[in-house]
């Protein structure tokens, strides 16, 4: 549910009129409840122990989301690059009563593994944990232990006191 549009610059007037109209009736259903339930289950599975987004898990909370890795155009060859990518993870939590939506995009990651699950998902995890704490949303003690083993090569991603990412 969109509650506010922070920047109107760059949007045509008719686009803003559509956003304003949509905000007038926030209860309008845009998808069948069963379809939404299925999609949420799929997004939650993507964050499960066998999912590509397993590094996005936030201990104590059910998380749902999707990884992505987009190949970029090489400016020299004007074709898709084998090395230039954007790594993405977008998700929400807690699943039962969503309060936070986070999208992480890392443009041209300088790491060996460059996929959204390896690069952007751990950042989502760190930000999600901070968001839940700041919002005062208590963790579910039954979910404090991650489901199943984390990948063997998982590196811990945390935020320091200035909320900068540290590994």
Per-residue pLDDT, 22: 63
In the predicted model, is pLDDT for residue 99 greater than 80? yes
- Give dist(CA 56, CA 163) in Å, integer: 17
- How many residues would you count in the chain? 167
Q: Is the dihedral of CA 83, 158, 145, 136 positive or negative?
A: negative
**Percent of the chain whose pLDDT exceeds 70:** 71
Comparing CA positions, the residue from 82, 77, 87, 48 lying closest to residue 65 is: 48
What is the per-residue pLDDT across 124-153, written as a single tens digit (0 to 9) for each? 999 999 999 999 999 998 887 544 444 444
- Give dist(CA 49, CA 159) in Å, integer: 23
What is the per-residue pLDDT across 12-34, written as a single tens digit (0 to 9) for each? 556 666 666 666 766 777 888 99
DSSP 97-165: S--EEEEEEEES--SS--SHHHHHHHHHHHHHHHHHHHHT----GGGSSPSSPPPTT----EE-TT--E
**Percent of the chain whose pLDDT exceeds 90:** 59
In the predicted model, is pLDDT for residue 75 greater than 80? yes
Tally Cβ neighbours within 10 Å of residue 81: 14
What residues have CB less than 8 Å from 78, skipping those under 6 apart?
none
In the predicted model, is pLDDT for residue 87 greater than 50? yes
- Give dist(CA 93, CA 143) in Å, integer: 13
């Amino acid at each position: 549910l969109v509650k506010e549009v922070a920047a109107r610059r760059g949007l045509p007037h008719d686009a803003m009129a559509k956003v304003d109209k949509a905000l007038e009736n926030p209860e309008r259903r845009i998808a069948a409840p069963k379809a939404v339930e299925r999609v949420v289950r799929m997004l939650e599975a993507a964050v499960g122990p066998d999912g590509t987004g397993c590094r996005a898990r936030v201990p104590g909370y059910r998380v749902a989301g999707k990884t992505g890795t987009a190949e970029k155009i090489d400016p020299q060859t004007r074709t898709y690059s084998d090395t230039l990518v954007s790594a993405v993870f977008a998700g929400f939590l807690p699943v039962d009563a969503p309060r936070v939506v986070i999208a992480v995009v890392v443009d041209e990651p300088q790491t060996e593994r460059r996929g959204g699950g390896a690069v952007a998902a751990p950042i989502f995890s760190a930000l999600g944990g901070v968001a839940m704490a700041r919002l005062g949303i208590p963790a579910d003690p039954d979910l404090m232990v991650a489901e199943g083993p984390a990948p063997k090569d998982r590196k811990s991603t945390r935020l320091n006191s200035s909320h900068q990412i540290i590994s």
